[in-house]
Amino acid sequence: MYEVEVKVPADLEAVRDRLEALGATRKRTVVQADTYYDAPHRSFPETDEALRIRRESSDGGDESRITYKGPLLDDESKSREEFETGVDDGETMDAVLTGLGFEAAATVRKERERYGLEGYTVTLDAVDDVGEYVEVETEVSAADEVESAREGAYDVLERLDLDPDDQLRTSYLGLLLES
Amino acid sequence: MYEVEVKVPADLEAVRDRLEALGATRKRTVVQADTYYDAPHRSFPETDEALRIRRESSDGGDESRITYKGPLLDDESKSREEFETGVDDGETMDAVLTGLGFEAAATVRKERERYGLEGYTVTLDAVDDVGEYVEVETEVSAADEVESAREGAYDVLERLDLDPDDQLRTSYLGLLLES
């Protein structure tokens, strides 16, 4: 499975109007608080690893997940090991990590409003202290479908009056730490 | 809340017969596999901490929990911080810990058959590579009730033809590591 994802800064109000005009399907809105941890024995920025607890709230209730992203296995494909599982209580999981010597380094909070449009998921992100962004994404099963899926994502951006050339390659965590 | 707990080696078959004769209530039987981890940056035996993933199976299904036990806060009361939360998938949680540099040090596997008898929980433990033990436990709400609760537990042991003087103070993990 290959994930194709393009993210650009945007005025969400204007994008919302365009989505409505294009007949996009509104999906559920979630609020996510992602806490990233520093390790006591390694520098994650140097090893390119990440440890995160995500707390997500929506109409369906609250849920928490822990995620570990390993170092890049291969520069070319940007592939890495990733392990994620749900936890019953995010606060207790934070207490376990803190007890072990991990320290919360930063928390990214965002509201994510999702729409479906022509096989793509369009997500309107309002990120605390960072700004407003629109992400267009889809999944394809084969490597040779990636390029046309990316072209399709650019096309969706243009129909939303957004410019694919504004594409942002920094993570929200990176933007928050730079701010 | 104070936990009163007494554990002695036993022939489980004989204890089972005694429990039946005494009209004890049979509760659910569970199988637990407790994996304890070594840390990459501290010696848990020295700091007296513990990190464990417990996988428990019963008629009710499988569940996993992660537990961190902090160092003793106070030698007198043996009190320590403990944080525990359920995780959706124990194998994935193990992969997260392993990715972070923690190493599975030992796994204690046991079948626990529980009975209720006169306000006490009697647990028949068959511990792989360690042996058979019976644990009698109860909880009281005040410190001055501990002594009589302990006397009551000794009394239960005697009614099961077991000797309170055989009391074991080593954990199953300790016994497994010694074996």
Contacts of A86 in chain B (CB under 8 A): 87-89
* Contact (Cβ atoms closer than 8 angstroms) between residue B52 and residue B66: yes
Band (B78; pLDDT cuts 50, 70, 90): low
* Per-residue model confidence (pLDDT) at position A81: 87
**Res. B96: pLDDT tops 80:** yes
Min Cα–Cα distance to chain A from B33, Å: 19
* Per-residue model confidence (pLDDT) at position B75: 65
The CATH number that applies at residue A35 is 2.40.320.10
**Res. B80: pLDDT tops 90:** no
Query: Does the predicted interface ipTM exceed a cut of 0.95?
Result: no
* Count of domains forming chain A: 1
The reply to whether residue A68 touches residue B96, judged by beta carbons under 8 angstroms, is yes
> How many Cβ atoms are within 10 Å of A178's Cβ, its own excluded?
8
By residue range, what is the domain housing residue B151? Answer: 2-178
pLDDT in tens, chain A (179 residues): 788 999 999 999 999 999 999 999 999 999 999 999 999 999 998 998 999 999 999 988 999 999 999 987 766 656 788 999 999 999 999 999 999 999 999 999 999 999 999 999 999 999 999 999 999 999 999 889 999 999 999 999 999 999 999 999 889 999 999 88
What is the token pair recorded at A111? 């509201």
**For residues B108-122, average pLDDT:** 96
A2 touches chain B (CB under 8 A): no
> How many Cβ atoms are within 10 Å of B136's Cβ, its own excluded?
25
**Res. B79: pLDDT tops 80:** no
* Per-residue model confidence (pLDDT) at position A75: 65
* Contact (Cβ atoms closer than 8 angstroms) between residue B110 and residue B125: yes
- Rounded distance between C-alpha atoms, residue B136 and residue B169, angstroms: 13
> How many Cβ atoms are within 10 Å of B90's Cβ, its own excluded?
21
% of chain B with per-residue pLDDT over 90: 83
What is the token pair recorded at B179? 């074996």
CA distances from B46 to B38, B43, B72, B83, B144 (A): 11, 5, 11, 20, 32
One-character DSSP codes across B11-57: -HHHHHHHHHHTTPEEEEEEEEEEEEEE-SSS-HHHHT-EEEEEEEE
Nearest by CB to residue A85, choosing from B41, B42, B89, is B89
Specify the higher pLDDT residue, A111 or B72: A111
SS3 B99: helix
DSSP label at B97? H
B84 touches chain A (CB under 8 A): yes
**Res. B114: pLDDT tops 90:** yes
B44 touches chain A (CB under 8 A): no
User: Which residues of A are catalytic, by number?
Assistant: 36
One-character DSSP codes across chain A: -EEEEEEEE--HHHHHHHHHHTTPEEEEEEEEEEEEEE-SSS-HHHHT-EEEEEEEEETTEEEEEEEEEEEEEETTTTEEEEEEEEES-HHHHHHHHHHTT-EEEEEEEEEEEEEEETTEEEEEEEETTTEEEEEEEEEESSGGGHHHHHHHHHHHHHHTT--GGG---S-HHHHHHH-
> How many Cβ atoms are within 10 Å of A3's Cβ, its own excluded?
10
- Rounded distance between C-alpha atoms, residue B103 and residue B119, angstroms: 40
- Please write the tens of the pLDDT for every residue from A6-27: 999 999 999 999 999 999 999 9
**Res. B134: pLDDT tops 90:** yes
> How many Cβ atoms are within 10 Å of B171's Cβ, its own excluded?
14
Mutation target among B94, B97, B100 for the A interface, most CBs of A within 10 A:
B100
* Per-residue model confidence (pLDDT) at position B179: 82
Torsion of CA B109, B110, B111, B115, to 10 degrees: -150
**Res. B162: pLDDT tops 90:** yes
- Please write the tens of the pLDDT for every residue from B15-56: 999 999 999 999 999 999 999 999 999 999 899 899 999 999
